[in-house]
Amino acid sequence: MLIYRPDGGFAQPPAELAPSPTVLAGRRIGILDNRKPNADVLLGQLAERLADRTGATVVRTETKNAATACEDQVLGLLAEEVDVILTGTAD
Amino acid sequence: MTVDIFSEDLLQVDDDADLIDAMAEHGWGDGLPVVAPTTERVDAMLLGCPRTDPDEVVAVLPPRFGEATRRTLAVNAVMAGCRPEHLPVLVAAVRALARPEVNLRGVNATTHNVAPLVVVHGEVARSGGYNGGRGALGPGNRANATTGRALRLVLLHVAGAIPGDGDASTQGGPAKYGLCVAENADASPWPLYPSAIGMEAPSAVTVHCGEAPHNVHDMESDDPARILDKVASAMATTAQNNACISQGEFFVLLCPEHAATCAAAGWSRRDVSSYLFQRARLPAGELKRAFGLRAWASWMDQLADDELVPMTEHPDNVRTMVVGGPGKHSSVVPSWGMTRSVTLPIQEPEGRPC
């Protein structure tokens, strides 16, 4: 028998990831802390190790809350100031 | 293989296939048996929304950014076991969930066990056969069960809120199978909930993204305060997201007998909400010890540890309505926190059905 698939189409996502740089040396790494408990620990140590190994510069910033989308103002600043962003959840 | 792609929209399924397993091959379904969404059944379901474009996108649902058309919603309604008269309720509920204040991306993707509570108000509750009376939050009524389930199937399939993928919920929760109920207008001493928030519509739907209902029983009280102090006790706990987020809403589903006791004492719905706002409080120090990370109104952070903090920053965030039948059990449904409830009319202002 023929049945409809239940998912339907999907819209274009509002943003797509930029291509990742192949070399981090000399790049600026942005840490986007979503303020989940331990996110700062995880991301901070990751950034420090990357900086030590590659010589990259690290810039730290944070969002208001992990439950809502990052503010446009924060994203705009990061877009101007860094080449790569590390973010993610924790706890 | 029991399912083959037949076209962009259609699948070829063996007639003797187990449809649960066949759907699961694609990551679809909620684990329960489904009704096969054949073209004939979907066409019949769409008769619930006559004079509308079945392929119009009525909402885009994150995190998948799935396009919810009436046809896609009808497919999921068929699978859930809905009747055509339930489709307008499902469409309105999906429209409501897509409003930005709901924060559906967060609702679907969080580790919390949040799920939408759908409340059906007015004429459609009666014509659609929805239960707002005895056992309304439980099983046994087709309209409640299938509409709630259809909404979950839409979130799984269209929104992509699949456990472990678009849904990161740590434990999940029974409300994620479906939670739909009617407001018990016949047994309520107060006007319909939508009119209380300024919406005059013969039929409406409210969505509130929260936890499963928590029971409050009071068998003996004949004054509102004694009943509502127990409700306030269920609200004033650190074991919920609203405790660390000051904008959170509480849906208070009063049983008819508790509501009647309040009304007999001259209390309006507003009086009930204001009393609960006043009584549901915890010491600031206890909340600060419990949550290092708080999304409070800034004035709350200035309170001394021994001062009481209201569980939500405004009485309007305590949303009261009547649900249930005989007996003396009410429920509290705390929100996920970073979300707001939305109420929409079933009939659009220009008279066009949803």
Q: Are B272 and B336 in contact (CB under 8 A)?
A: no
Q: Among residues 56-85 of chain A, which lie with CB inside 8 Å of chain B?
A: 64-65, 67-69
Q: Under a CB-based contact definition with an 8 Å cutoff, are residues B58 and B21 in contact?
A: no
CB B66 within 8 A of CB B98: no
| A2 Cβ under 8 Å from any chain B Cβ | yes
Q: Assess whether pLDDT exceeds 60 at residue A70.
A: yes
Q: Which tokens hold the place of B319?
A: 């949303």
Residue B170, pLDDT above cutoff 90: yes
Examine the pLDDT at B348 and tell me if it is beyond 60: no
Average pLDDT of B199-225? 96
Nearest to B72 among A8, A36, A91 (CB): A8
Q: What is the mean pLDDT of chain B?
A: 95
Q: Starting from the edge strand earliest in sequence, which strands make up the sheet with A2-4, in order?
A: A2-4, B10-13, B3-5
**Phi, psi torsion values for B263, nearest 5 degrees:** -65, -35
Q: What's the mean pLDDT in B109-128?
A: 97
Check: CB of residue B44 under 8 Å from CB of residue B137.
Answer: no
**E strand or H helix at A62, and its extent?**
strand A57-62
Across chain B, the runs of DSSP E, i.e. the strands, are 3-5, 10-13, 57-61, 66-69, 115-122, 180-182, 203-210, 214-217, 250-254, 281-283, 308-310, 318-322, 329-334, 342-345
Shortest distance between the Cα of A28 and any Cα of chain B, in A, equals: 29
Instruction: Name the band, by pLDDT with cuts 50, 70 and 90, for residue B351.
Output: low
On whether any CB of chain B is under 8 Å from the CB of A15, the answer is no
In angstroms, what separates the C-alpha of B298 from chain A's closest C-alpha? 13
Over residues B118-130, mean pLDDT: 97
Q: What pLDDT does B15 receive?
A: 85
Relative to beta strand B57-61, strand A57-62 is unpaired
Q: In the 8-state DSSP scheme, what is residue B283?
A: E
Q: Note the pLDDT tens digit of each residue in B16-64.
A: 889 999 899 899 999 999 999 999 999 999 999 998 999 999 999 999 9
CB B235 within 8 A of CB B334: yes
pLDDT of residue B354: 62
pLDDT score at B349 = 46
Among B328, B342, B323, B319, residue whose Cα is nearest residue B269: B319
Chain B interface, Cβ < 8 Å to A:
6, 9-13, 15, 23, 26, 28, 36-39, 42, 57, 60, 64-69, 71-72, 75-76, 79, 103, 105-106, 110-111, 153, 157-158, 160, 168, 292-293, 295, 336-338
Binned at pLDDT 50, 70 and 90, residue A85 comes out as confident
Residue B92 binned pLDDT confidence (cut-offs 50, 70, 90) = very high
The strand pair at A84-86 and A28-33 is best described as parallel
Share of chain B above pLDDT 90, in %: 90
- The ipTM (two decimal places) reads 0.89
A8 vs B12, B39, B69: nearest CB: B69
Judge: B157–A4 Cβ closer than 8 Å, yes or no: no
Spatial contact of B179 and B147, defined as CB atoms under 8 Å apart: no
**Quick one: residue B169, left, alpha or beta (phi over 0 = left, psi -120 to 50 = alpha)?**
beta
Question: Which pTM was predicted?
Answer: 0.92
Decide if A7 and B68 are in contact by the 8 Å CB cutoff: no
User: Beta partners for B333?
Assistant: B251
Cβ-contact B167, B108 below 8 angstroms:
yes
pLDDT digits (tens, 9 = 90+) for B245-303: 999 999 999 999 999 999 999 999 999 999 999 999 999 999 999 998 788 888 988 99
Distance, in Å, from the CA atom of B341 to the CA atom of B207, rounded to the nearest integer, reads 6
Reduce the DSSP state of residue A20 to 3 states and report it: coil
Q: Which of B70, B158, B209, B298 to mutate to test the interface with A (most CBs of A within 10 A)?
A: B158
